[in-house]
Structure 1
Amino acid sequence: MALVLAGIALLFLFNALTTMLEYVSSQEDLQAVVFWLFGSMAKATWSKAAIVGIVILVVLPFFLKDAWKLTAIRLGDTKAKSLGIHVEKLRIKTLILVSFLTSIAVCFVGIIGFIGLVAPHISRMLVGEDQRYYLPASLLSGALLLSASSIVSKLVIPGAIFPIGIATSCIGVPFFLYLILRRRSEFW
């Protein structure tokens, strides 16, 4: 509960800072900020893709090395600790690595919502919980979902750049509602 409340507080803080940035920006800078907030693949280049690829190649071995431990955590903290896993240390390490990967991607293409939320759920449905298969499947499903959203965003208004973040939200929100309703029906 404290983590959720802290997340909400940080959301409002950073929304306020973003709004302040928009307020003090020139017209040209404001347009760039708004475009970044919508997310776009329009400014993606091969050099930026290479940087993201290198970061993935550097970080992925750490995840693959800890794949068994990450799978064991899904059993619960108590069972994972009984298997000799230092749960808190692994969580912090994983959080730092995921934050690093996310920040690299976001700095180049902006905020593209729901890719990081929907793709892992699709992967889990396809390959299960075993992190040896789940991690690569999440990478692949995220890339495919982003590519499909990019195509959809280009088809919506031919000749115009439609923000990809809107397209991913149109895909992600119904999928998330489906997951919530499915979990709720399983609970009852």
Structure 2
Amino acid sequence: MSNKHLAKDAENEILKNAQKLEQKNIILTISLLILIITAVIYSLLAGSTKINMTDLMAIINGRRGMVYNIIWNIRLPAVLTALVAGVGLALAGAVMQTILKNPLASPFTLGISHAAAFGAAFAIVVLDSRQFLKTVPLFSNLSLPALTAFFFAQLAVAFILIISLHKEQGTETIVLAGIAISSLFTAGTTILQFLADDLELASVVYWTFGDPGRTNWTQFFCLAVVVLIVVIYFIIQSWNYSLLNAGDEVAVSLGLNPVRMRLIALTIVSLLTSIIISLVGIIGFIGLVTPHIIRKISPGSQRQLFLNTSLAGALLLIIANNLARTLLNPVVLPVGVLTSFLGAPLFIYLIIKGRRYW
């Protein structure tokens, strides 16, 4: 057989494998959407007050009453917030791992979550939240802990961005800087807890647990708009990030600026993470775990990774929220604890495996 025939056969084999992988990713996307819809419906029905499908259909048809209030004012905002927050956190993790080329990169490991926790603790222990909200009506739909959590998270982001601008610093340095930021703000939060009275301490601990059910409709819609814009942006730019993932030399040869791309991506996902954490509290490891799960199930293009990781993050956080509400019913467990139980073993596994896994 001639070399020309061998090359043709190899090309056909590559195309066939690519088509199979594309079909597998499409099936995965459809499956995730079906599972998300199923999980959302289950979330509306499950809880301390049992609701059946007949009640749900009656509400859809316009019936009002106690069950309507439970679903519309309590369960639906919580499950939709979990969906949107899961999308945002998972996508942020996938983008960070791509641009930093580090399997341990995520919003949680870069210290953004811990900075937000310190900001919330600072507002609860040091500042007078009620007096602030009276004097600034613009923030009536937000809490002071949410505002200060966002502010301190942005300080952490600014520090990380400053480090990333130094050309001599590698991507590993950014992750190490994130670990240092985590330690710094964790120590600060511990000091504030030590100085707090019993009520303030309880408030700080409750905030750090993470809870999608603490948002109202206004906060949800604002969060949903931000997440939607970020998802669309990274889906559109996914080809450029595929080139970046292939190596800086490849990206530069095709007219891209790797430093500028990393800076923009890190700014966007850090801002997104700050907004999510300031509204729902700390929910760790979704951004770390989800991209690795998707790569393991069905590796594909960068666009497929971003899309399927976002959907899988939404599904994982909805499931975690359901387990938190129903596992020890009527006791509601912290969602962040359940996600940590999932993420911590994988985090240890990645540390042991190192770059061989990546």
Counterpart position of 2:346 = 175
- The equivalences for 1:13-32 within 5 A come to 13-32=184-203
Match runs of 1:61-100 below 5 Å: 61-100=232-271
Residues 62-89 of structure 1, C-alpha deviation per residue, up to 9 Å, x if partnerless? Answer: 2123211111111122222222210000
Cα deviation for residue 129 of structure 1 reads 4.3
Structure with larger RCO (C-alpha < 8 A, sep 6+): 2
Q: Which deviates further from its counterpart, 120-129 or 93-102?
A: 120-129
User: How much is the aligned-residue C-alpha RMSD, in angstroms?
Assistant: 2.2
Query: In the TM superposition, what is the alpha-carbon distance from 1:139 to its structure 2 partner?
Result: 1.3
Q: Which runs of 5+ in 2 are unaligned?
A: 1-171
1:155 to partner: Cα distance: 2.8
Q: Deviations over 1:71-116 (max 9, x none)?
A: 1111122222222210000000000010011111101111111111
Number of the residue aligned with 2:293: 122
Q: How does 1:140-159 map to 2 (within 5 A)?
A: 140-159=311-330
Q: Please state how far the C-alpha of 1:3 moved relative to its aligned partner.
A: 2.6
Asked if the contact 1:38–1:110 (Cα under 8 Å) also holds between the matched residues in 2, the reply is yes
Task: Give the Cα separation in 2 of the matches to 1:147 and 1:63.
Answer: 23
Change (3 A) 1:6 1:177: closer
Retained in 2: the 8 A contact 1:127–1:137?
no
Q: CA deviation at 1:38?
A: 1.7
Q: 1:22 and 1:63 mapped to 2: Cα distance?
A: 39
**Structure 1: gaps (5+ residues):** none
- What TM-score, normalized by structure 2, do the two folds share? 0.48
Q: Distance in 1 between matches of 2:191 and 2:298?
A: 44
1:123-159 CA-partner distances (Å, limit 9, x unpaired): 2234424222221212111110001111122233211
Q: Which amino acid aligns with 2:247?
A: G
Q: Determine what percentage of the aligned residue pairs are the same residue.
A: 38
Residues paired across the two proteins, number: 186
What amino acid is the match of 1:53?
A
Structure-2 residue corresponding to 1:10? 181
Displacement of 1:50 in angstroms is 1.2
> Does the Cα contact within 8 Å between 1:38 and 1:164 map onto a contact in 2?
yes
SS at match of 1:74: helix
Relative distance call for 1:109 and 1:185 in structure 2 (3 A) is closer
**1:33 corresponds to which residue?**
204
Shift of 1:121: 1.5
Whichever residue aligns with residue 243 of structure 2, its letter is: A
Distance 2:180 2:221 in 1: 35
* 1:102 equivalent in structure 2: 273
Taking the aligned partners of 1:186 and 1:169, their CA distance within structure 2 comes to 24
Residue 69 of structure 1: SS of its match in structure 2? helix
Shift of 1:57: 2.2
TM-score when scaled to structure 1?
0.87
Q: Distance in 2 between matches of 1:76 and 1:86?
A: 12
| Cα distance in structure 1, aligned partners of 2:329 and 2:258 | 50
